[in-house]
Amino acid sequence: MKHESPPRWFDSLLDKLAPPSLAEEIKGDLYEIFCDDLSKKGITRSKLNYIFNGLGFLTKSFFWKKRQSSHVNNTIMLNSYFKMARRSLHAYRSNTVINILGLVIGIASALVIFSVIRYELSFDSFHSNADKIYRLVRVSGTNMAILESSECRTGVSFPVPNALREESSKLAKVTSVLYNGDALIEVPDKSGAIIRRFQENSTALVEPSFFSIFDFKNTNFKWFEGNAKTALEKPFSIVLTKSASAKYFPDGNPMGMTLKIDKRFDCTVTGIIEDFPSNCDFPFTVLVSYSTLPVVNSRMMTDWYSVDDSNYTFVVPAPGFTVDEVQKDIARVHASHTPKDLHESRYYLLQSLSDMHFDPRFGTFNGRTITRQTLLALGIIALFLLLTGSINYINLATAQSTMRSKEIGLRKVMGSNRKNLMIQFLTETFLVVLMAGVFALGLSELLLFRFQALLNIKPETFYFADPVVLMALSLIIIFVTLFAGIYPSLLISKFNPVTALKNRFTTETVGGFSLRKVLVVAQFTITQMLVIGTFVVIAQMNFFQTTEIGFVHDAIINISVPERNPVKRETMSQQLKSQSFVSDVSFSFSLPGGVNRNRSYQDIARTDAKAREDIKVFEFHSIDPSFLDLYKIKLLAGRNFTHLDSAPYILINKSLMNNLQLGSPEAAIGTSLIKNEEKYMVIGVIDDFYSNSLKSSVDNIGMVMDPNAFRKVSIKLALHDNSSLPDAIEQIRKIWTATYPDYIFDYQFLDENIKAFYEQEQKYAQLFQLFSFTFLLIGCLGLFGLITFVINRKGKEIAVRKVLGASVSGLLFMFSKEYVKLILISFVLAMPVTYYVVNNWLSNFSHHIELKWWLFVSPGFIVLLIAISVVCAKSIGAANRNPVDSLKCE
């Protein structure tokens, strides 16, 4: 009898549909009946019957019911996946460690960056109607079309908010905030004697409406005492934050107590509030009622010209009005109060509160903004860090796969299908990434605390328990698992079992090698870019710090002079000069440079000036005769002040001289200039110096000798060694405090003050160093893993080569030339991009370094050197090994 079989297509249909546990018995029974039929009926009838009987099963409910036993089976497989993953991770320990290390670094940095971005984005977003709040900003310039040429500032003239409140119907709420710089706060006891004294830079004048606009809804902000509506109504009311009140009144209830501000104003405490959150652009701890301002200085409230850039106005437009309509209405109100030349060159525009923290043109009370581009760049770096960690994994996993080909082959023979294998390898990847993720969470927490100052953030609490962070971490884990795991698992599961068992794969024949090259190049391109960037930033920083700025600034201490009494000043000067460590003392209004100095700008013109353009703005200085000497500012022509001068004389610098078109320094001597409607005679011309940072160009400077305007004392120290510095400062403190017993001693070194100009750049330099170090570390880890693998594979080849006479150096060359090539390619790729970016960054500064070729080549060379040393360190052992050891077995 000819062998007949039931229709095969129907069998496979049953296989597909039936639960695996049932398919076998069903097909068995059907086959038995089929054989039975075959002996009685014809083949066609039997086949039909087979199908008919089989279809019968499809109508039965048990056939479709999910069986308990199949679940058990799945979990068994799941357990097996994890067990196998654990075993193979254990078997390739060194690779696992390298993979985990690379990923830990990558994930931890990504988490840190994530936290930074999240923190920055959270600024000022917690008010219930944050999207409806706008800040009034002042843009000055004759041509509004070119915003770049306009002056962007934040200050609003004092009468503007009140006028808007009364005359504009398109604004629902208006509130003014005046951030007061330094303030001396004194706590008197009942008899009026001062018991505590604090120098604060966190006082602000606010209106009651402040809290109706900024409600801090989504924070734990609350009023402990007093209430938002009435506390800040009356002049000389004061509201303290919890921490400030604890500082001023460590014992007892502060409500109704008096605080003396700047020795002049007695204010009554009318409320206690929770501290403002750290992600808030109002760094206030002491709030004084805004209504105090007109009482103290009523003239200011009607002056539409003058502006104080720390006087902000926030508005909420009435419902239904667009920003454009509101801006037009504000312009209308402004125009109705001011002359043409003012309202045609000054505009008040609306800036959304959500942009306040991200627009560097205007700035905030906090003094810090961060552009969205910077955040985006940080995000991209985070992504790259994850990618480069994943690349290590992909490289090592594909390289390793050749070693595992026997295992895969056997698994396939034993019935594992592609899906199983893929799940198996993804499970391995997942375990690695999960472990890395857990370590990274801890590490990122450490990093956040360690680099708090650098990252400019204040983590509120630790964030292990923060669901958003955990969610981000899980997303990162999933993303990395898939990104790093998919390709190797596809590649591995594709192996043909026969070839795999014969172990015919070599590193080169597995399709991954060319991909590995690409990935290594990608990794090192990113690394090179960052390393070059670091070099340039550091070179620029060096340039900032070493360039001559026109005056000496080392070993100079500056202290404020709080009182005008000339006798006190003279006594202090004598006392200071009698100290052996003081070489010179000078009094002045301000300092020649530094972030922290008094700035005053005034108009000056020649006597024959007619048009508005002829009037120049200059930075005002008032100095005593020793100032030029102490700071070593060069006199180009004419003479310095003497103590005998009493006539209105002025010293001008070269750029003011040029701007006023006075010709040469010699010619300028003796000219009369008009300042404050008074005539001043030029008695000398000084050389230009950089009062502001080297990021901008030199300013016009004019110096008069007006002892009434002396606010600072500069002390030039002559110390032989640094160890005596604390004693010297202590001596100075004693002398100063004896002179001004009612004030707080606060000193500053001028060189630190000047360094503060470059704080942001300094941070960039540090961040760049950190990032390039991280990338280099991850890249080298991956390289190390790869070279370890290659050496293990090529043990015999090395031995044979040595037997045939290869030298150690020849072998090292053989190993490194591949990687040298890859790194050179990455260098070539990194160059143009980096050049473009770096050039762009440098063009922000009016004084910057030239981009020399060595700025690019030397970092490239260093990366190459590090990579080669990693490769050589690993391969030198293999090259030195006795060939007998590797050849004797097998």
Partner 1 sequence: MSRIYLGELEELVLLMVALLNDEAYGVTITKELETQANREISISAAHAVLHRLEEKGFVKSKMGGASDERGGRRKRLFKITAYGRQTLEDLQNTRNTIWSLIPKPSAS
**C-beta separation of 287 from 206 below 8 A:** yes
Nearer to partner 1, 30 or 101 (CB): 30
Q: Residue written as tokens 């590490």? A: 443
Minimum distance of partner 1 from residue 400's CB (angstroms) = 39
Pick out residues in 31-50 that bind partner 1 (CB under 8 A).
Answer: 31-33, 35-36
Minimum distance of partner 1 from residue 74's CB (angstroms) = 19
Minimum distance of partner 1 from residue 61's CB (angstroms) = 8
Q: Which residues pair with 179 in a beta bridge?
A: 204
Minimum distance of partner 1 from residue 54's CB (angstroms) = 8
Minimum distance of partner 1 from residue 497's CB (angstroms) = 23
**C-beta separation of 562 from 740 below 8 A:** yes
Q: Is residue 614 within the footprint of partner 1 (CB under 8 A)?
A: no
Q: Which stretch binds partner 1 (CB under 8 A): 22-30, 192-200, 206-214, 754-762?
A: 22-30
Minimum distance of partner 1 from residue 25's CB (angstroms) = 4
Minimum distance of partner 1 from residue 80's CB (angstroms) = 22
Q: Binder to partner 1 among 20, 42, 56, 442 (CB under 8 A)?
A: 56
With a CB cutoff of 8 Å and minimum separation 6, the contacts of 333 are 160, 163, 164, 167, 168
- Separation in Å, CA 803 to CA 375, 789, 818, 879, 883: 57, 22, 23, 12, 7
Rounded to an integer, what distance in angstroms lies between the CA atom of residue 586 and that of residue 557? Answer: 11
**Residues found in the chain:** 890
**Run of H or E residues at 166:** helix 159-167
Nearer to partner 1, 62 or 305 (CB): 62
Task: Give the count of residues interacting with partner 1 (CB under 8 A).
Answer: 22
Minimum distance of partner 1 from residue 24's CB (angstroms) = 5
3-state DSSP call for residue 359?
A: coil
Nearer to partner 1, 15 or 262 (CB): 15
Type of residue at 345: S
Q: Which stretch binds partner 1 (CB under 8 A): 53-61, 359-367, 718-726, 857-865?
A: 53-61
Nearer to partner 1, 27 or 138 (CB): 27
Q: Is residue 27 within the footprint of partner 1 (CB under 8 A)?
A: yes
Nearest-5° Cα angle at 861, 856 to 863: 100
Nearer to partner 1, 19 or 795 (CB): 19
Q: Which stretch binds partner 1 (CB under 8 A): 57-65, 147-155, 446-454, 710-718?
A: 57-65
Q: Binder to partner 1 among 25, 233, 344, 554 (CB under 8 A)?
A: 25
With a CB cutoff of 8 Å and minimum separation 6, the contacts of 289 are 205, 206, 207, 208, 232, 233, 234, 235, 236, 237, 238
Q: Is residue 4 within the footprint of partner 1 (CB under 8 A)?
A: no
Q: Is residue 15 within the footprint of partner 1 (CB under 8 A)?
A: no
Q: Cα 569 to chain center, whole Å?
A: 45
Q: Binder to partner 1 among 10, 48, 51, 53 (CB under 8 A)?
A: 53
Residue 236 CB neighbours (<10 A): 18
Rounded to an integer, what distance in angstroms lies between the CA atom of residue 552 and that of residue 722? Answer: 18
**C-beta separation of 163 from 278 below 8 A:** no
Rounded to an integer, what distance in angstroms lies between the CA atom of residue 373 and that of residue 736? Answer: 47
Nearer to partner 1, 15 or 563 (CB): 15
**C-beta separation of 478 from 437 below 8 A:** no
Q: Is residue 90 within the footprint of partner 1 (CB under 8 A)?
A: no
Q: Is residue 131 within the footprint of partner 1 (CB under 8 A)?
A: no
Q: Binder to partner 1 among 57, 347, 841, 845 (CB under 8 A)?
A: 57
Long-range contacts of 759-763 (CB under 8 A, 24+ apart): 761/537, 761/540, 761/541, 761/544, 762/541, 763/454, 763/456
Q: Binder to partner 1 among 62, 90, 612, 840 (CB under 8 A)?
A: 62
Q: Is residue 59 within the footprint of partner 1 (CB under 8 A)?
A: yes
Nearer to partner 1, 67 or 87 (CB): 67
Q: Residue written as tokens 């022509």? A: 637
Nearer to partner 1, 57 or 513 (CB): 57
- Separation in Å, CA 358 to CA 313, 405, 455, 476, 656: 18, 54, 16, 26, 35
Nearer to partner 1, 30 or 698 (CB): 30
Q: Binder to partner 1 among 2, 40, 60, 299 (CB under 8 A)?
A: 60
**C-beta separation of 491 from 511 below 8 A:** yes
Contact pattern for partner 1 over residues 379 through 418, marking x by CB under 8 A: ----------------------------------------
**C-beta separation of 802 from 519 below 8 A:** no
Rounded to an integer, what distance in angstroms lies between the CA atom of residue 860 and that of residue 772? Answer: 12
Residue 728 CB neighbours (<10 A): 18
* 848 token code pair: 């910057």
Rounded to an integer, what distance in angstroms lies between the CA atom of residue 814 and that of residue 273? Answer: 71
Q: Is residue 344 within the footprint of partner 1 (CB under 8 A)?
A: no
Nearer to partner 1, 54 or 208 (CB): 54
Q: Binder to partner 1 among 4, 20, 28, 503 (CB under 8 A)?
A: 28
Q: Which stretch binds partner 1 (CB under 8 A): 18-26, 122-130, 446-454, 698-706?
A: 18-26
Nearer to partner 1, 5 or 839 (CB): 5
Minimum distance of partner 1 from residue 8's CB (angstroms) = 11
Q: Is residue 360 within the footprint of partner 1 (CB under 8 A)?
A: no
Nearer to partner 1, 20 or 877 (CB): 20
Nearer to partner 1, 28 or 367 (CB): 28
Contact pattern for partner 1 over residues 417 through 456, marking x by CB under 8 A: ----------------------------------------
Nearer to partner 1, 10 or 347 (CB): 10
Q: Is residue 629 within the footprint of partner 1 (CB under 8 A)?
A: no
**Run of H or E residues at 868:** helix 853-880
Q: Which stretch binds partner 1 (CB under 8 A): 60-68, 404-412, 664-672, 820-828?
A: 60-68
DSSP annotation string for 447-461 = HHHHTHHHHT----S
Q: Which residues pair with 346 in a beta bridge?
A: 140
Minimum distance of partner 1 from residue 432's CB (angstroms) = 39
Q: How many helices (H) and strands (E) does the chain have?
A: 31, 24
3-state DSSP call for residue 178?
A: strand
Rounded to an integer, what distance in angstroms lies between the CA atom of residue 296 and that of residue 300? Answer: 9
Rounded to an integer, what distance in angstroms lies between the CA atom of residue 507 and that of residue 365? Answer: 60
Q: What is the DSSP letter of 669?
A: T
Q: How would you class 116 by CB atoms within 10 Å of its CB: exposed for 0-12, middle for 13-18, buried for 19 or more?
A: buried
Contact pattern for partner 1 over residues 782 through 811, marking x by CB under 8 A: ------------------------------
Q: Binder to partner 1 among 10, 13, 19, 26 (CB under 8 A)?
A: 26
Pick out residues in 678-737 that bind partner 1 (CB under 8 A).
Answer: none
Nearer to partner 1, 28 or 566 (CB): 28
Minimum distance of partner 1 from residue 2's CB (angstroms) = 16
Could you report how far apart the first and last alpha carbons of the chain are, in Å?
54
Q: What is the DSSP letter of 92?
A: T
Rounded to an integer, what distance in angstroms lies between the CA atom of residue 148 and that of residue 284? Answer: 31
Residue 519 CB neighbours (<10 A): 22
Q: Is residue 10 within the footprint of partner 1 (CB under 8 A)?
A: no
Rounded to an integer, what distance in angstroms lies between the CA atom of residue 136 and that of residue 317? Answer: 11
804: left (phi over 0), alpha (psi -120 to 50) or beta: alpha
Nearer to partner 1, 69 or 297 (CB): 69
Q: Which stretch binds partner 1 (CB under 8 A): 24-32, 315-323, 328-336, 805-813?
A: 24-32
Q: Is residue 72 within the footprint of partner 1 (CB under 8 A)?
A: no
Instruction: Name the site residues for partner 1 (rule: CB under 8 A).
Output: 5, 24-33, 35-36, 53-54, 56-57, 59-63
